[in-house]
Structure 1
């Protein structure tokens, strides 16, 4: 099982350009949709969600599906229909998306954009990507692509491995010209431990998925304890989630053994609750209170760090990041700093679609309620100290606020 955000940022950034031009046949689309329908209606479960509505949601976009001639357009159309369920953790992945998710390696420009008044606003840059190597930054605007003013879509056609961009830089307002090349790069980001002073360390965890290393994280927390730090700042900004066991592992390093992690309400628990109590199958908080916690922290070989805690969050902090933050706030008094989280917390699985040449679908299997009785799906965590400033080369206002709070 995995906790994942609705949009996994590494997949999004990595495949913006590399998948364009991969045509998709009507036969492939039919096989994908048939396998999707069978998988969703057989496996998916969220209290109060009627997954038998999927054919109706799809029918509303049938014309778009029929006209989709390439894989990215087809996948985007299907995911638009899936969003009609109004929940996270349900989406279609193309074969390229799947490869990137598994390997952490992709090919492309490495940036995401959205329409703006002048053209296209760069909303995210993948570290180590071609865009990052050119020095492009979030907030820069693309005002021309291949000499064409006010572009309305991105990326450019796939036969262009190198693309001419005219950029208005956010930092200076200057107009600059760049040649941006598609390259293979890693979307992985490392876990890091840094010290702001002798009493305070910052543990940055970019993901609870493939890059999370139990041994490395244990070493970091052991160092914090050995150096007798008074406070630990846990940086979970843009951490979209990952494996359940990694979430439990980190919480076990920062909490006493047996600390409740919360309740995952799956189909079996929901049905037993209704059968035994006659209660409402959609009342997540009541079900969680009746069931009790389904997971707790475990005893580790090393003593947990029990000093002061602050957690840095933003709108891309999702799933396992939100669970970790909620548990540490409720059970350890951790201070949440930054922006509100994604509000995307469902337990899910990535399931291959039979006879589709590599497509997968992510389906939710259960909902989650925190130990304190808070359902996090569509209910983002709100920071105790709200900070809107962006990170620059010389300042990090969110971290600065955390250091102030730890005093």
Structure 2
């Protein structure tokens, strides 16, 4: 995601599901506003208050502002003197609460940085995934990512992190450990590592930019059937390119059909969801967005699908927003059979702006509809095949996530049956693609 190096720029992007969407564009309004207030209000918390008010005034999807006199709100805000940034932040949050929209929200600088880091699909770290092992009571490596400092240093799955820069991890939780492991690119980190059958040892690693994997995929051979299983965790900045690689490599392995797992996917980049939909859908509408003036924008597939093989999508009540755009597009066009439970039901689009002090604000700017014109907000998408797990089945998957996408996963097993039964839309005649074909974890 492109960001301005200027601290007083206003970064505007559309986003879904609590994470920023695809294309970062500079707001001419924001830049002009910042220039005009910088000299007069550079050190005043009132600058943040007025900037948020003006951004909401210009963009918010409900032009009545939840039946509020928005000009009177501004007069009230600017009549006060704010003695600190925190006092200004409190005033902003209170005003935004009046919109009765949980997705229009203010973020302090730390919250805004966390959001942009998450949605960029990149972090500064050493390239490990780790968990807290309840048995050993130790932080344990789940995976060292390919081509990462950790992998190059010989870190392996199962290694225990005993200390970080000399600080013992015995009483440390994942969040505390992640803060110590992440840091500025180029800085050095020392881990004390325990490995079964060996004496503990120290490893020095240099932090670098790590692309966070959000797509996992595998070939499953189910009798004579070759199934491409793909799990997408969120629609981050690298999700589309990772999905392209997954589809292409599985196509090269001559899969017969695909299962796309969106369970627990909270959403993410609007553009990523559209780009991924185009990889599966050769023709047809993808999504329609409507702004506060009634302006409508329809996005369509453009004959760039990577495959026309049968597809099943797995969803649950935590599949939200960008996940619902993708699911709705493929379901309405009869490109996929959807298995699971009703999805979350978020059909709103936000823009995110960086403010003059590094804080940020997310503003709902549009409503979206599926290709058939369905409004799923607060309703969700009803799957073609309703499937609810028993408490025992849910516990089994929660405690052993390696079962996901296997025949011991009821969702996946039902998808195999549905792929044999479902009548898919006939694909358009196209030339072959020329494109190359449990435990809580943290990416660090």
TM-score normalized with structure 2 length:
0.56
Instruction: Output the CA distance in 2 between the equivalents of 1:262 and 1:33.
Output: 34
The residue correspondences of 1:7-406 to structure 2 (distance < 5 A) are 30-46=46-62, 50=66, 52=68, 82=96, 85-87=99-101, 89-104=103-118, 128=129, 134=139, 181=177, 182-185=179-182, 188-197=212-221, 198-214=225-241, 216-257=242-283, 259-270=284-295, 294-300=298-304, 303-332=305-334, 334-353=336-355, 356-383=356-383, 384-388=385-389, 389=394, 390-393=397-400, 395-396=403-404, 399-406=409-416
Asked if structure 2 preserves the Cα contact closer than 8 Å seen for 1:89 and 1:348, the reply is yes
Asked if structure 2 preserves the Cα contact closer than 8 Å seen for 1:89 and 1:344, the reply is no
3-state SS of the aligned residue for 1:228? Answer: coil
Number of residues paired by the alignment?
A: 306
Instruction: Output the CA distance in 1 between the equivalents of 2:175 and 2:110.
Output: 25
Instruction: Output the CA distance in 1 between the equivalents of 2:61 and 2:364.
Output: 6
Instruction: Output the CA distance in 2 between the equivalents of 1:38 and 1:249.
Output: 32
Question: Structure 1's 34 and 74: CA in aligned 2 closer, same or farther, altered over 3 A?
Answer: closer
Instruction: Output the CA distance in 2 between the equivalents of 1:318 and 1:339.
Output: 12
Mind listing any 5+ residue stretches in structure 1 that lack a counterpart? 9-26, 60-65, 108-126, 137-160, 168-177, 271-290
| 1:164 to partner: Cα distance | 8.4
TM-score normalized with structure 1 length:
0.61
3-state SS of the aligned residue for 1:362? Answer: strand
Instruction: Output the CA distance in 1 between the equivalents of 2:74 and 2:380.
Output: 28
| 1:129 to partner: Cα distance | 6.1
Mind listing any 5+ residue stretches in structure 2 that lack a counterpart? 1-12, 21-42, 76-81, 142-166, 183-209, 418-444
| 1:324 to partner: Cα distance | 0.4
| 1:88 to partner: Cα distance | 5.2
1:5 is matched with which residue? 17
3-state SS of the aligned residue for 2:113? Answer: helix
1:217-260 deviation line (CA, Å, top 9, x unaligned): 22322233333323211122333333333222211111123x11
1:29-60 deviation line (CA, Å, top 9, x unaligned): 5433222111111111148763746799999x
| 1:79 to partner: Cα distance | 5.1
Name the larger-Rg structure.
2
| 1:296 to partner: Cα distance | 0.2
1:14 is matched with which residue? none
Asked if structure 2 preserves the Cα contact closer than 8 Å seen for 1:312 and 1:399, the reply is no
